[in-house]
Structure 1
């Protein structure tokens, strides 16, 4: 039953996946929840839409790994029809010389593949993966916990000590590895392990996904580690395709939300968060409609929440300054393509569906290649030889394209959100898309002629369409100064904000970006704790 025009307990701004997750947990606890979504459909960046007649694809977010198993179970996503198919390989890396590297078809197979490039690296690969997993396993225990408020009294100090003890359970070598992965550059980390450029390029890709930074920038090793925190079907590091596209995830969440009584309003852009006596009490839409609530939860980027939706004066100047300096820039460019046929790679000939077509196809042949892409973008606006991950989801999901046809997702780095000399992304994005497609064509000669239609999303388009400030897919850089107890600002990493009754539940909170549902889950827990506390005091 719709609550439109009536007050509710909790108002959620933004119907992206974390907003939906948060709404579900709150409604399951018996609260009356309303979600306000700016676009005509919920899902945020995890949506599936038709982009060319007869062709559908995941528009922005494009692959599954970080979605937390607890969220999947609690929201009954499998019962709502969600099905995820694992990739045969994590990655297929075609090389300019006609060779290819395949990673992720099992450790023994990966070692055999790597041995074709370096016997030494093949010997070291099991230890490398074991090291990553040992540190990742410790960090996974922190994902569903609220970061401690450093300097926040005895209780918070004890929580911080407890977390420190978990890291302390690692032996000395493990603690050294954890320090390296939290502070070093991915380039230096990988150079210390391996000699094969293709292997380092393939592994280094995870360090530049959504991270507009040099692969040799301090802290980029953590971004690599962040992408190893997922565990599809309990298998760490496994990636998969959502049948029906990424929108299948958020539509399943929306069905669960509806079954719990959540009221979802689409085409409802919020213009302002209402406050009274320093407390959030509702929201005003762009069309003037007002919605009252006992508390408000924002799934938006912290910069949008604090700098655009609150009245000046609601926040102290120091907090405002820090939010103004919240770094948002992914350097990402997205293209969806309708294809007449599959790419025929020189490194793996044939247009019949093969395992490499069902995997993540990487154009990242070396760390130097990744580095040049970044510096091109810094100095010239975009990479002349872009870093590309291409998926062909129609190879496992025939519903996305007409018979015999296919769709491709191209997720590309590096593209400067702020073009030099005042350049305009709208003026150059078609040219840039041509260059990206031509880059793939150098590895698969039939590719350019196979393109029937395309959807282009520059960093500016990602911001305008999905509210990804600076095109940032993570709602804020995953750097050490913007993680854990400092995400988004030290003293407010517990999903609460300086405005009473206003909470955050998006990727700008712990543990950061990716389609995980964890920020929504954690925020709901903290909201319910406050709700029960205030209810006991009779203040709600």
Structure 2
């Protein structure tokens, strides 16, 4: 079989890339080793409660409906629907108070003002000041292939918004937070959100993320029917454009002719030829060290081996099937808490989040136990059990190599789940006792086993540091989606801008491939 282009991996970035290329007339095939497309965009039915569905990996999708590829691929025509809860994030304090981030800056400022009027004024002032930075600089940078660093800096220095961006970008995110806000809870909330978006708040280079939080309009959204519906919608869009997708098809190696990537061989012995391009949506290690193997040029192999994964990327999850949803105690302070989409609790100040980095690097469970979670079924009745049962979960940032060995999770998961639920119980009623119908855990090792692309359980598929960002992500030899192997491109979360469910890695990669192949432009 021969097609124009092959995409390795069926995660959402590869599907976005494939759909955009198919829309420009390229005959593409997506090859995915799992039984279903989507990678972390999945859902699972509870094994004890009929009809109840859990989302194990991916729930909070930031501003998906504003992404350019979402509109281009007309996903709503293919059944994809999103909800953006107005009470977007609730940050719980140990004393029963809470800070609620709403979808509007004014309501968020009101919530902040109950804790600290000065911070509320700063929130509103910075929101106005930074809005053009977000709209004219940050969003365009993330939605485009990366420029060389020197070119990007020279261009940005020409405008006031660009200079503001550069000033923020040079900061550690935690320092940007501490420099603009005073109340410990406000500081902790902002640090927590960046950590949960896989931003390392302790290294310079991503301080501009604070502006995106304060002035940006892209809030957490819920895909109705579960995250799997995004993957299935992308798959339907691809098929409608003439593309193909194979599942349960594991690649064995990338085929080269004269040093050029010309196809793949599958584990079952089948081969597929690619006339024009081969695009990998999986991590650099699998792409270069496993699928290319001995055919990988020494310099490229060395770069792939040196690629670093995040020690604060992995999650430990506890998922509960409940008769009724939890009742958060902070709702007495602010009733909007009970209607919040994401809940964050366990820390009253930012030091708990900076402390994650040394603890995880040393293989220790961080203390205090900081959690975030949700009850997606409150917002999406289609996921509830047949008797109206609810699915709730909490996640904790933890080390992959617990005590120096990831296999320790297999014997320690149950005990740690009890500790996590005890911590959850400090903030919410209904997460223990007769209200609980079923429970299960998901460890970083479970994540890696289920989704090999997430090496070490790293949801970001690579640490986001100054030397692994922009045109150096994953590394300079492949920092613009092109690789030193002619015909071989990258489009996964290990490319610019970074992981999370945004689809921008696949979107930007498709722009580069379409440009290289001189594919026809589409009308606006």
Q: 1:204-242 CA distances to partner (integer Å, 9 max, x unpaired)?
A: 1122125485x444446355567679x6xxxx1322211
The one-character-per-residue Cα deviations of 1:99-123 (angstroms, maximum 9, x if unpaired) are: 1221225333222222222222122
Aligned twin of 2:140: 141
1:15 matched to 2:13: no
How many aligned residue pairs are there? 506
**Corresponding residue for 1:473?**
459
Q: Any residues of structure 2 matched to 1:421-432 within 5 Å, and which?
A: 421-422=404-405, 424=407, 425-432=409-416
In 1: Cα distance, 2:285 partner to 2:340 partner: 37
CA contact 1:357–1:392 (8 Å) conserved in 2: no
Q: 1:272–1:283: 8 Å Cα contact kept in structure 2? A: yes
1:464 aligns with 2:449: yes
Q: Is the 8 A contact 2:103 2:219 kept in 1?
A: no
Matched, 1:340 2:323: yes
| Inter-CA distance 75–178: structure 2 relative to 1 (3 Å threshold) | same
Cα drift, residue 446 of structure 1: 2.5
In 1, Cα distance between equivalents of 2:214 and 2:77? 27
Q: How does 1:10-409 map to 2 (within 5 A)?
A: 10-52=5-47, 53=49, 54-67=51-64, 68-137=66-135, 138-149=137-148, 160=151, 164-170=154-160, 175=163, 177-209=164-196, 211=198, 213=200, 215-219=201-205, 221=207, 236-294=217-275, 295-317=277-299, 319-329=300-310, 330-348=313-331, 356-363=338-345, 364-402=347-385, 403-409=387-393
Alpha-carbon separation, structure 2, partners of 1:337 and 1:280: 46
Q: Following TM superposition, by how much is the alpha carbon of 1:427 offset from its aligned partner in structure 2, in angstroms? A: 2.0
User: Measured at CA, do residues 189 and 525 of structure 1 come closer, stay the same or move farther in structure 2, by a change above 3 Å?
Assistant: closer
Between stretches 249-258 and 483-492, larger displacement belongs to: 483-492
2:490 maps to what in 1?
Answer: 504
Task: Return the offset for 1:130.
Answer: 3.6
Query: Structure 1 residues 254 and 282 mapped into 2: Cα distance closer, same or farther (>3 Å)?
Result: same
Give the match for residue 538 of structure 1: none
Q: CA deviation at 1:32?
A: 1.8
Per-residue displacement from partner, 1:11-58 (whole Å, max 9, x unpaired)? Answer: 111011111111112222222211111111101111223243422133
| Cα-to-partner distance string for 1:428-481 (whole Å, 9 max, x where unaligned) | 222222222221111113212233223422222222211201212122122221
- Runs of at least 5 residues in structure 2 that lack an aligned partner in the other structure: 520-524
CA shift digits 1:476-523 (9 cap, x unpaired):
122221111111222422211111111111111112112222221222
SS of the residue corresponding to residue 475 of structure 1 reads coil
CA–CA distance in structure 1, aligned partners of residues 406 and 234 of structure 2: 39
Using the alignment, how far apart are the partners of 1:336 and 1:41 within structure 2? 22
- The 5 A counterparts of 1:447-458 are 447-449=431-433, 450-458=435-443
Seen in structure 2, the aligned counterparts of structure 1 residues 380 and 280 have a Cα distance that, compared at 3 Å, is closer
Are the counterparts in 1 of residues 493 and 500 from structure 2 also a CA contact under 8 Å? yes
Query: Hey, which bits of structure 1, 4+ residues long, moved more than 4 A?
Result: 222-229
Cα pair 1:208 1:223 within 8 Å, conserved: no
Q: 1:493 to 1:314 in 2, by over 3 A?
A: same
Relative to structure 1, is the Cα distance of residues 531 and 106 closer, same or farther in structure 2, using a 3 angstrom cutoff?
closer
SS in 1 for 2:222: strand
Cα deviation, 1:295-328, whole Å, max 9, x if unaligned, reads 21100012221122112242233x3222212111
Gaps of 5+ in 1: 1-5, 151-156, 534-540
TM-score by length of 2: 0.89
Following superposition, the deviation at residue 344 of structure 1 comes to: 1.5
- For the aligned residue pairs, the C-alpha RMSD in angstroms reads 2.5
TM-score w.r.t. the length of structure 1 is 0.87
Tell me, in whole angstroms, the C-alpha distance in 2 between the residues paired with 1:525 and 1:109: 38
Equivalent in the alignment of 1:154: none
- Between the aligned partners of 2:252 and 2:112, the Cα distance in structure 1 is 53
The answer to whether the Cα contact below 8 Å between 2:289 and 2:296 also exists between their aligned partners in 1 is no
Deviates more, 1:516-525 or 1:261-270: 516-525
Choose 56-65 or 254-263, whichever is displaced more: 56-65
Contact in 2 for aligned 1:93/1:365 (Cα 8 Å): no
Alpha-carbon distance between aligned partners in 1 of 2:360 and 2:103, rounded to the nearest angstrom: 33
Q: Distance in 1 between matches of 2:214 and 2:471?
A: 21
Give the distance between the partners of 2:222 and 2:56, measured in 1 at CA: 14
User: Would you say the 8 A contact 1:474–1:507 is kept in 2?
Assistant: yes
Name the SS of the counterpart of 1:454 in structure 2: strand
CA distance in 1, matches of 2:206, 2:350: 13
Distance change (3 Å), C-alpha of 1:390 and 1:66:
same
